[in-house]
Amino acid sequence: MSTALDVHTWELAERGYTVLDGIRTDEEAAAALHAFGDLIPQYDGALRYQVKAAPGFEERRYSKSVNTILVHTEAPGWNPPPGYLALHCRVQATCGSGHTELADMRRFVESLSDGDRAVLYEREIEWLGHNTGGVGTEGVRRPVVERTADGEEILRFSYNLLTTGQYDPPVDASVDASELPLGSFGVHLAEQAEEFFRQEKVSVLIPEDSVLVWDNQRMVHARSAYRDAKRHLTRYWIAA
């Protein structure tokens, strides 16, 4: 077991994500994830969140829809955001889609011009602390890249927030740039991030009874649209 853990720890450090196989139950998932840190409550206060299509979200870019979810980090309004995110696949979609997509945000930051990169470190914006249901923290005011007292960096990102002012907007949302957290620069940044993501992303169709774990303070993620509403994953947040 220690050898397997060493491999997963190395993969998290080197590429930002890893996959745990042979995880069948909630209890097995919790036990396996405890090796990476403590499970922490999510938006609704529970340790587990069911990612499954539900009525009422058909026109939103939201985890309980079947729509594409655009590039973001999880809970950027938390202080700090979850260190790791995990998705336990209970029922995989049979339509061949619903991939979890990942890319290294640090590489994106490095790819920017000096001027654009400076804005990410220097200009603070309001990261809302709640989701569609209005449950969560009060949010934080931080730059996209926050330098911590111990010299580490925490990356926060949301294509939706920068382009619509919401985390889970209607699919056809359109907002004047003057009303957005970083104005027209935020739209410019989001478009650059989306282009980088499409070129550099890793797409993972998580096998059933497997758990995908990634570094949420480093990696951005998205999800491709799918059709099979039976798809069911359980999400966990893990403290840094």
The predicted pLDDT at position 133 comes to 58
Mean predicted confidence (pLDDT) in 45-74 = 94
| Angstrom distance (rounded) from CA 159 to CA 222 | 10
Instruction: Compute the mean pLDDT over every residue in the chain, rounded to the nearest whole number.
Output: 94
> Binning pLDDT at 50, 70 and 90, where does residue 157 land?
very high
> Residue 51 above 70 pLDDT?
yes
In the block, tokens 């998205």 appear at 222
Q: Quick: pLDDT tens for 207-224.
A: 999 999 999 999 999 999
Res 5 pLDDT > 90 = no
pLDDT bin (cut points 50, 70, 90) of residue 135 is low
What 8-state DSSP symbol labels residue 178?
G
pLDDT at position 182 is 96
Chain segment 16-50, per-residue pLDDT in tens: 999 999 999 999 999 999 999 999 999 888 999 99
Which residues in 89-127 are b (16+ Cβ under 10 Å) and which e? bbebbeeebbbbbbbbbbebbeebeeeebebbeeeebeb
Is it the case that residue 168 has pLDDT exceeding 60? yes
pTM for the complete prediction? 0.94
pLDDT computed for residue 142 by the predictor: 96
